[in-house]
Each structure stands twice: as C-alpha cells, then as structure tokens.
Structure 1
Amino acid sequence: MKTVNTIALLILTFSLSAQTSEDVLSTWDKHVEMNHLILNFLPESTLLDINDSTSRNVGEQFAHMHNVRMMWLGKSELAKGMDQEIDAAESREKAYLISQLRASDALIRKSLEESLKKNQMEIEMTPIRFMGYLISHESHTRGQIVLALKNSGHQLPPNIAFGIWGW
C-alpha cells in the first residue's frame, strides 16, 4: 500500500508541476497578445507619438521592450542571429517592430519553457520571477504607450483600450 501511495504522490506532483509550467507559458502568451493587440492596431505614423519632450516615442517604447529582453537573454544560444538592439530608425518601421517583437516573444517563451523544467535560468532569477519582471516592466511600458497616444490625440478605441484587460 505504501508503494501505491508513493506512486500516486509522485504522479500528482508531476501533474501539478506540468500544470504550473503550462500556466506560466499561457500567462506569457496572453501578455504578448496584449502587446500585439496595440501594436497591430496602430497606424505606422503613430509610432512617432510622444508623451513629452523627455520620453521615448511609441515606436521606441516597443523597441525598448525588445531591447530589455535582449539585454537579459541576448547572449543565450537561443538568441543567435537576432537583432540585439532595435535602434531609433528601425523603431519607426511597424513591420520591423512586429517581426522583432515576435522573435523575442518566442525567445522568452522558449527560455521559460526550458528553464521551467529545471527551475533555473542562465540569469540570477527563477523562471517565474523573470516572467513577472518582464510582465511588470512591459505593462508599465504599455501604459507609457497608451499615454503618449492619448496625449498626441490618438486615443485607443474601447475595443483595444479595454481589450488589453481581456485576460
């Protein structure tokens, strides 16, 4: 009976950790969806919208998300061949921003997926803490984007503005 209980406990433990990993990855996927909901909607001309003279414009904010991801994982084997830093000129090109964000979205997801298996990353954070850091940072950046658009007369329509809360 003790062997049966031990096996059942091991199966339950494995199931919970597999479910936790899926929850983490689906949380990352939903977060990424919110970033792209805004970017895909925007006309390219609004990438130059700015909140004030000291802040990044909208395109530079999206580039900043990618650049911070690459700051953390750009040296990893998974990042070979990726643009390590989107510059100001590249940040004005919507198609380029979308392609590079998609690439770093996938880089983060793959890194999380691999790291969750061993609960360890190449950086000094656990996978869940790292994802929390990125979501916090990028949500703040999204707020800056929404504010710059609003202050430039390009307020997001309700389906986009409220859509980012569709978790």
Structure 2
Amino acid sequence: MASANDGKLLEVILDSWDRNNLILVNLLGALPPGGLEARAMSGSPTVAEMFTHMHFVRLIFLSEDVPECAVPLPEREWVREGSADVIAKELERSAGAVRHAVKSRIQSGEAMNLHYDHPLLYLQHMIWHEGYHHGQIKLALKAAGHPFDDEVIGPLTWDIWMDKTQKR
C-alpha cells in the first residue's frame, strides 16, 4: 500500500541522482586546460574516455532494462571527445533519460527487464559506478600534475551532497 510519504521519498531519490549528475558536470567544468587528455598511467583511459564511458553505461543499461525510455546510444563507448561542452550535454541527456526511466518504473511498479531487482538498484549502481570513475579522474589529474585543491573542488562536489541549503 502506498503512503503519503512515497512521493516525497521518490523525489529525494531522484534528487540524489540529479545531484550526482551535477557533481560530474561540475567536475568536468573544473578541469584544467588539457585535463580531458590526462591519464592515471600509461594505457589507462583518458579523462574524456571515462566521462564518455559513464554516459554510455547509463544508456546501455537503460536500453536493456527500460527500452521504452531509451535514447540513442553513442556509436562507441570510450570516446576521446575533445570538448567538455559536448560531454556535458551528453551527460545531461543521459541523466534526464535515466531519471525519467527510474521514475516511470517506480511509479508504475513495473520490474526492470533484464538487470536489477528494483529500479532504485539501477540508480544506485549508476551512482556507485560514477563515484568510482570520479576518483579515477581525480587520480589521473593528480598524476598529470594537476591535482584539485580541496577548497576549490569541494564546493562543486562534496558540498552538493551535504549542504542542505545547496542551490542547484
């Protein structure tokens, strides 16, 4: 049986997804010149490739689990896109599609088609996966001699999660 708080809880869950995407886009926007080409070590993916991989992973799972909400997939997964603006637009596009799909499946009570016992698990997987790559991106920048100052990057990342007054 649904309760009056179910709608509020769904909005909080979706807000966590929106914040996750904002953090990624903020990280992308804070990259120094040449940051998209940085690698943690020789043979590792570039920062650009990690961002485009995250976008692709969002959409491939979406196409498999909620095909009615699928949007066109990129032709390739690990792309060395040279424009942070292009990557940001793609992240916004895939974030919106994921948000819509999760909201749709939770509201309808319909199960996911292939993976995950519940739509929330898909969302949690995406957040966990993207947090993993967030750390890799920061490591790649550090290895390339461009570490972030915590006082600069904190308000663009961690504060998004923790500050109750954070304006998005």
Q: 2:24 aligns with which of 30, 35, 42?
A: 35
Task: Flag the 1:84–1:14 CA change in 2: closer, same or farther, 3 A.
Answer: farther
| Matching of residue 138 in structure 1 with residue 130 in structure 2 | yes
Q: CA deviation at 1:52?
A: 0.5
Q: Which has the higher helix share?
A: 1
Q: 2:45 aligns with which of 56, 59, 78?
A: 56
- How does 1:75-154 map onto structure 2 within 5 Å? 76-83=67-74, 85-89=76-80, 91-119=81-109, 120-125=111-116, 126-154=118-146
Task: Flag the 1:35–1:103 CA change in 2: closer, same or farther, 3 A.
Answer: same
Q: 1:45 aligns with which of 34, 40, 43?
A: 34
- Equivalent-residue separation in structure 2 for 1:67 and 1:159 (angstroms): 31
Tell me if structure 2 keeps the 8 A contact 1:48–1:58: yes
TM-score by length of 1: 0.83
Q: CA deviation at 1:14?
A: 2.7
- Equivalent-residue separation in structure 1 for 2:143 and 2:90 (angstroms): 27
**Superposed CA offset, 1:37-60 (max 9, x none):** 101122452100011012111000
Give the ranges of 4+ consecutive aligned residues of structure 1 lying more than 4 Å apart after TM superposition: none
Q: CA deviation at 1:116?
A: 1.1
Task: Report the residue type matching 1:114 in the other structure.
Answer: S
SS in 2 for 1:30: helix
Aligned length: 155
User: Which residues of structure 2 form unaligned runs of 5+?
Assistant: 162-168
- Equivalent-residue separation in structure 2 for 1:113 and 1:84 (angstroms): 27
Tell me if structure 2 keeps the 8 A contact 1:25–1:109: yes
User: Which residues of structure 1 form unaligned runs of 5+?
Assistant: 1-9
TM-score by length of 2: 0.82
**Superposed CA offset, 1:40-89 (max 9, x none):** 12245210001101211100010110111122013623334453545534
Q: What is the root-mean-square deviation in Å for CA atoms of aligned residues?
A: 1.9
